[in-house]
Amino acid sequence: MSPLLEISPLTDCFGAVVHNFDLSKASAEEDYPELRKLFEDHSALLFRNQSLPPEDHLRLARMFGPIEDRKKDERQPGTGPEVSLVSNETGAGVTDEMDLHTLHLKANQQWHIDSTFMPVPSLCNILAAKVVTTEGGQTELASTRAAWAAMPEELKQKIRGRILGHNYRRSRERISMELANLPMFNKWPAQRWPAVWANPVNGHEALFIASHVFEVEGLSPAEGDALVDELMAFCTQPQFVYSHQWQVGDVLMWDQRATLHRGMPWPYEQPRTLASVCCSMTASDGLETARKAVSLAC
């Protein structure tokens, strides 16, 4: 294993800044075990001054798990998943504020976990800043692990043991029905996941909750919505939140099993481009345990 990496706290309750480490040279044998340990321990890792071209970005991500492939059904046979660009720039320039493309970016300004609406959810997102704005455009993280640890028992009891229904459409409906009706937001059937997940390495529990939640099983729609709102409000209090102001070269990655995130608005006439690669969970990341919990709840 490589020498111990130099880290400092990202916030008082979660996250770490990793110093003097070149992610483009990370090796699966030498560096990944320590990076993975930091990921499990801290939930979010920030690396500054990185140059991470697409091939290195994908190579790094593959160490954590299979690359998530949302467009498998749209790609030519024989081609593989690519780095996704989270951007308001298209071939025709910067998209208008009310353009459906921009509205999709705005939908990601709701607190969420990526891909809870997919049959295999995402373990982590590795996000790299390529074009940044002069103001706004932060990415914010909220630790549902730290929030769960601090949550009053009375509130915990309302959600512990419950199953949440997730779909992609739900988070888009709040922004625009035209957006929600697009095929890409109706591609996957609703998924059911436990509301609370325990990290399989260290046992820390965290809420697995998102703007994609459309039901809390066992509660009426009104009761479920109210409980989700209450839990979200608790988890996103300032003491559990980190707001990252991007600089070109920053790479931020986080554990989706213990972290909510959202983008923040920016002047939409300015281009903003983040390169993103999500890895899918595997059985040993807690997926198998979650599926068993759901099947037992049937």
Residues found near Fe ion in the complex (CB under 5 A): 114
In angstroms, give the least distance from the CB of 158 to Fe ion.
Answer: 26
Q: Of how many residues is the chain composed?
A: 298
For tokens 């990415």, name the residue: 139
Tell me the closest approach of the beta carbon of residue 108 to Fe ion, in angstroms: 5
SS3 214: strand
Residue closer to Fe ion by CB (options 114, 255) is 114
Minimum CB distance to Fe ion smaller for 141 or for 163:
141
Q: Output the smallest distance, CB 4 to Fe ion, in A.
A: 31
Question: Cβ closer to Fe ion: 65 or 151?
Answer: 65
With respect to Fe ion, which residue has the nearer C-beta, 259 or 293? Answer: 259
Residue number of the CB atom closest to Fe ion: 114
Query: Would you say 64 and 125 are in contact if contact means Cβ atoms under 8 Å apart?
Result: no
Paired residues of 213 in beta bridges: 166
Specify whether the CB–CB gap between 236 and 260 falls below 8 A: yes
Given a contact cutoff of 8 angstroms between Cβ atoms, the answer to whether 65 and 115 are in contact is no
In the bound state with Fe ion, the residue whose beta carbon lies nearer, of 114 and 285, is 114
Smallest distance from the beta carbon of 118 to Fe ion, in angstroms? 12
Q: Could you give the CA distance from residue 210 to residue 192 in angstroms, rounded to a whole number?
A: 12
**Closest among 121, 126, 2 to 59, alpha carbons compared:** 126
Min dist CB 157 to Fe ion, Å, is 29
- Nearest 10 degrees: CA dihedral of 109, 110, 116, 122? 40
Q: Which two tokens stand for residue 94?
A: 């910067």
